[in-house]
Amino acid sequence: MSTLTYVEALREGMVLEMRRDPKVFLAGEDVGLFGGCFGQTQGMFAEFGPERVVDTPISETAIIGLGTGAAAAGLRPIVELMFIDFVGVAMDELFNQAAKMRYMFGGKAKVPFVARMPAGAGFSAAAQHSQSLEAWLAHIPGIKVVMPYSPADAKGLMISSIRDDNPVVYIETKTLYGLKGEVPEGEYLTPIGKAAVVREGSDVSLISWGAMVGTCLTAAEQLSKSGKEAEVVDLKTIVPFDLETVLNSVKKTGRAVIVHEAVRTAGFGAEVAAELAEKGFDSLNAPIVRVTAPNTPVPFSPPLEKEYIPSAEKVVKAALGLF
């Protein structure tokens, strides 16, 4: 094991795969000499050179189009959008081309590329650079969506995503970049589509992904002081969604609180809640509760942004309200 930050771990995943497979390359804005907007690609240009670490124009359409075409032609590109907020510019390439190509060619065409997208609030980057849009992407058949919390999963899901033969959107929550944790050395894969119970509990299930897993872990410690033991489930992957792990947790605890940073309306938490209501209703001893961001743009003001992002205190209040 090594102790790495989240950003170091995801970079290690990319580097290992580029060393292993010459078909893997990286492209995006400022990924080369600059080393990435948040330092995600530091040192990669020096090792792999301009043919495999490619600085692109400021064009999300071109970046996702490059990934789609290169993947269909037999390469395994990793393409980066500087912020997930800009994915709307490239949605036609993503949902009408990359997502549908394998299906429309009867499985004969593979589109193995990873689209990396930093997401989330917490930096006072205002409404156009702070959104969590995983639910948009989850709605598109043909795309896998991963959103790791721990540094170990940042590396493991990166490697799994690069090796997958389908388009994978890899969402990096920006507030996690400095998070430190133990990461297995060398080749290490986290399976796509498998959630994990990261804290055992018996009274209430806290279900989340990305940075909100950390919020849930903090809330669970606070709940323990109130005599309630919370189980924390980290989905890790939005699509495919590991419903079985969620159902097993709620069967044990009888209560569910779903926590995400995205806005409430049509957030992915609504899908989790619907599946629980349809397939786990008999396990529930209380209504399903969601703790989310409000249905507003992300504020620039630091105090307002702090209020916008779900807090451990809000999770605790929601959980205690179920008893």
Report the catalytic residues.
129
Q: Who's near 162: CB < 8 A, 6+ residues apart?
A: 13, 14, 17, 21, 24, 76, 78, 112, 114
Rg over alpha carbons for the chain, rounded to the nearest Å, is 19
Asked whether the beta carbons of 55 and 103 are under 8 A apart, the reply is no
DSSP 240: S
**Residue 165's closest CA among 273, 280, 72?**
72
The dihedral formed by the CA atoms of 207, 212, 213 and 217, expressed in degrees to the nearest 10: -100
Extract the tokens encoding 213: 């897993």
> CA-to-CA distance for 119 and 131, rounded, in angstroms?
6
Give the pair of three-digit tokens for residue 18: 């580029």
Separation CA 123–CA 160 (nearest Å): 29
CA distance 141 to 278: 21
Token representation of residue 154: 């940042």
Distance CA 221, CA 119 (A): 26
Backbone angles phi, psi at 135, to 5 degrees: -65, -35
Are the C-beta atoms of residues 52 and 26 closer than 8 Å to each other? yes
User: 217: which residues sit within 8 A by CB, 6+ positions away?
Assistant: 198, 199, 232
Dist CA 318 CA 291 (whole Å): 7
| Residue among 74, 165, 101, 87 at smallest CA distance from 133 | 87
